[in-house]
Amino acid sequence: MPEVSESKIDQLEEQLKGKIEVMSGFAEKEVQKLKLDKIFKYFDSDNSNAVDFEEFQAALVRMNFVGVQREVEALFDRYDEDASGLLEFGEFSNKLLGIGPAAQLSGASRSIVERVKNKIIERGGANGIRTCTRLLKRMDKDGSLSLDKEELLEGLCVYGIRNIDDTEGGDLDKLMKFFDRDSSGKISIEEFLRGVRGNMPGKRKKLVRQAYNCLDVTADGQVTIDDFIQAYDATHHPQVIAGEITPEEAVEEFMENFEKKESDGVLSWIEFLDYYKDISAGIDHDDYFELMIRNAWHMSGGEGWAANTSCRRVLVTYTDGSQKVVEIENDLGLRADDIEGMKMRLEKQGEEGIAKISLAD
């Protein structure tokens, strides 16, 4: 089933804003926010000031949004930026209604951001979002690690993005308002990257979450950077496949970004997700993104073009003398000569009576 288009999600957003406007008697936005928050609060069963998808959907059904479940799910995914499965409805209301610095970009203004994003990807390839950091530093003339309006305009022109309307209320002001999340009048490099990469579809976020869980074997959010390097199969990075960089360079590129931050050696879920949001921005097809994730982290499964091809297959001889080629469904971090480890993992996935394992390759 095809993904819900951005225009469809934009349309649902506008309908929701229109509904709240009518329900509040065309009151000020702050009053509209109170009205929307009250509706979500009714369905917030645990009083956490956050709703899961079922509660979010129930609230929209209460407002007579029926027959649009896929669009509602896509809207939820758009705002669930960390793929936690929860939305803080106070923050959601602020973004939806355009209150404060966290305002959501309108459909019309989003096209301006898309122009910037597409140009960056055109110049930098599948990893263009992340590699454009060097360009941003060149834009930053005063060394403040942030860009004012003039620096942004000049930098975009250098990058080949011209005909930006820099009059009051024009494209440049819209870009500044969108990227400048803290309303400081300047855009930090992190703010720019976070804004231009856009939203990652929910399906992709869930795949990235699965990959992170493969590393986080203790489920405590404590994945070390060494764990990442030892387990990451960089041969399936898009630029490695395209012959643009080597697997070693792909790992180095990740490390360069990680080491720019004050690090305690732990790779958090949000950092891991941000890394793949940047790569996702340059990949159009969901099947290709799924194949990349499954192969890089040796996640079994997938259908058609997205089916995993990196998990090790071995020839198993059973105690009754029969033989069968079996996929080790989770071989992440498993050495090629660790026969005993392979046997243990096969037994864990339900294979019984294993007498011998031979490597199929």
| Residues in contact with 110: Cβ distance below 8 Å, sequence separation at least 6, in sequence order | 6, 10
| Residues in contact with 288: Cβ distance below 8 Å, sequence separation at least 6, in sequence order | 305, 306
| Distance, CA of 215 to CA of 222 (rounded, Å) | 9
Strand (E) or helix (H) holding 136: helix 133-139
How many C-beta neighbours within 10 Å does residue 351 have? 16
Under 8 Å between Cβ of 151 and 141: yes
pTM comes to 0.69
Per the listing, tokens 């339900």 go with: 350
Angle of CA points 89, 90, 93, to nearest 5°: 80
Long-range contacts of 132-137 (CB under 8 A, 24+ apart): 132/193, 132/196, 133/189, 133/193, 133/257, 135/159, 136/189, 136/192, 136/193, 137/189
| Residues in contact with 18: Cβ distance below 8 Å, sequence separation at least 6, in sequence order | none
How confident is the prediction along the chain (361 residues), in pLDDT tens digits per residue?
A: 567 777 788 889 999 999 999 999 999 999 999 999 999 999 998 899 999 999 999 999 999 999 999 999 989 988 888 788 889 988 889 888 877 655 555 555 566 677 777 777 676 655 556 666 666 666 667 777 788 888 888 877 877 777 788 888 788 887 887 777 667 888 887 777 767 766 788 889 989 999 998 888 777 777 887 777 777 788 888 888 888 888 888 877 777 665 555 556 778 888 888 888 878 877 878 899 999 999 989 999 999 989 999 899 999 999 999 999 999 988 887 888 889 999 999 999 999 999 999 885 5
Torsion of CA 326, 332, 336, 340, to 10 degrees: -70
For the chain, list the domains and their CATH numbers. Answer: 6-97 (1.10.238.10), 107-197 (1.10.238.10), 202-306 (1.10.238.10), 313-359 (no CATH)
